[in-house]
Structure formats: C-alpha cells, structure tokens
Amino acid sequence: RQRAAAAAALAQVEQLRAAASGHAAESAEAVKALHGAERAAATMVLAERQRGAQAAAEAAAELATARAEAAALLAAAHNAEVGAEARGSEARLQLQAASVEAAEAIAQIEGARAEAAVARARGEADAKALRAAHDAAVEARGNIRVFARVRPPLPKEMAEGGLAAISLPARPEDGSLGLRSVSEGKAGLFSFDRVYGPAVATAELYDEGVAPVVKSFCDGFSVCVFAYGQTGSGKTH
C-alpha cells in the first residue's frame, strides 16, 4: 500500500509538473503577445506623434500665412486710409478754391447785370430820344410826302420819238418838274416834295423816302408807302 501511495504521489507530481510546464508556456506566449502589443502601441504612438507634428507644422504654416495676409490687408487699409485722407484734403482745397471762384463769378455777374441794367436804361433813354428826334424830323418834313421819279425811256420809245420834254430841278429837294408835250405843244409845271431824274439810283430814293417810314413803322406807327402811276409809267422800276 505504501508503494501504491508513493506511485500515486509521483503521478500527482508529474501532473503538477505538466500543468506547471503548460502554465509556463502560456506565460511565455502571454509575455510574447504583451511585447508585441507594446511594440505595436509604441509604433502607433510614434506614428500619431509624427502625424501630430506634421499637422502642427502645417497649422503653424497656415497661421503664418494668415498672419502675413492679415498684415498685408492692414497695410493696404492703412495706405487706403492715408490716400483717402490725402484725396479728401485735396478735394476740400479744390472745393474751397471752386467756392471762391464761384463767389467771384457771382460778383462779376451781379456787376455785369448792374452795368447791363444801367446800359439798358441809357439805351432806352437814347432810343426814346432818337425816336422823338426822328418823329420831329418826320413831322417837320411832313407826314405825307410825295416824290416824283422819272424813269429812263425805253429803246422802243426812243425809236418812235414823241417823248415829252422833261425839265428836272437842279436838286431833288427843289421839287419842281416841268413837262412839255412835243406832239401837242402843251407844257406844265408840277411841284413835289422831291423830284428824281432817270440817273438816280433806287438806293438813294429808298434812303430819303422809304427808310424814315420803315423806321416809324418799327417804332409802332402806322405807315403806308405806295407807288402811283399809269401803266408803263415805271412803278416797277
């Protein structure tokens, strides 16, 4: 019985040794797995650190770029503000100069208006005096004036003969016109305000007889000018 008990005890020892060996193997595998996990964790931490460092560098670069752009914007804004102030000062100076020029121009215009009013008043007075003098001259010469004008003879009349003998005054204002019929032997002397011969130009007749009447018409008077004579007497001429 003692040998059996000893054998059983040895068997138990062997089992315990086998179990211990199994546990040791499991422990070795666990240690190996733990080391692998530690290496993987270290690799992941290193990678995360590297990515974090790269991200931080990129963020720092972006921040530096943003700061540079902000500085450039601030400088541009400052320059724009300075330029605006300079332009505003220049514009104020130009506005002040324009205001002074406008005031001077207004003063000149007012002076010119005053001078024009004085000149207009003088002109109206002069025109009134001229109208009065013209009216007085017209009335002195007569409101109704009759002029006689002898036209040149036509070639047909010259060829046929029988024209009346005409006696013209030495001056138109003498106003006497003598006629004597060659065929009938009759003679007559007629009086007019003015008498013009065939050599007198139409402009001279207009200046003396028509222009004063036109002037009176422009001054507001009723006037009348007409040519009287039988057919062929020379009214159109």
One digit per residue, the tens of pLDDT, for the chain of length 237 reads: 667 777 777 777 677 777 767 766 777 777 787 777 778 777 887 877 888 788 888 888 888 888 888 888 888 888 888 888 888 888 888 888 888 888 989 999 999 999 999 998 888 888 788 777 767 777 766 678 899 888 888 888 777 776 778 888 888 888 899 988 877 778 889 999 899 988 888 888 888 888 888 888 888 888 898 888 878 777 776
Q: How far apart are CA 174 and CA 161, in angstroms?
A: 28
First to last CA, the chain: 191
CA-CA-CA-CA torsion for 4, 10, 15, 21, nearest 10 degrees? -170
Q: Per residue in 31-89, pLDDT tens?
A: 787 777 778 777 887 877 888 788 888 888 888 888 888 888 888 888 888 888 888 88
Assess contact for 176 and 193: CB atoms under 8 A: no
pLDDT value of position 192: 92
pLDDT value of position 185: 76
pLDDT value of position 109: 92
pLDDT value of position 112: 92
pLDDT value of position 190: 92
Task: Decide: pTM greater than 0.85.
Answer: no
Pairing of strands 176-180, 165-167: antiparallel
pLDDT value of position 237: 62
Q: Mind spelling out the 3-state secondary structure of the chain?
A: CHHHHHHHHHHHHHHHHHHHHHHHHHHHHHHHHHHHHHHHHHHHHHHHHHHHHHHHHHHHHHHHHHHHHHHHHHHHHHHHHHHHHHHHHHHHHHHHHHHHHHHHHHHHHHHHHHHHHHHHHHHHHHHHHHHHHHHHHHHHHCCCCCEEECCCCCHHHHHHCCCCEEECCCCHHHCEEEEECCCCCCEEEEECCEEECCCCCHHHHHHHHHHHHHHHHHCCCCCCCCCCCCCCCCCCC
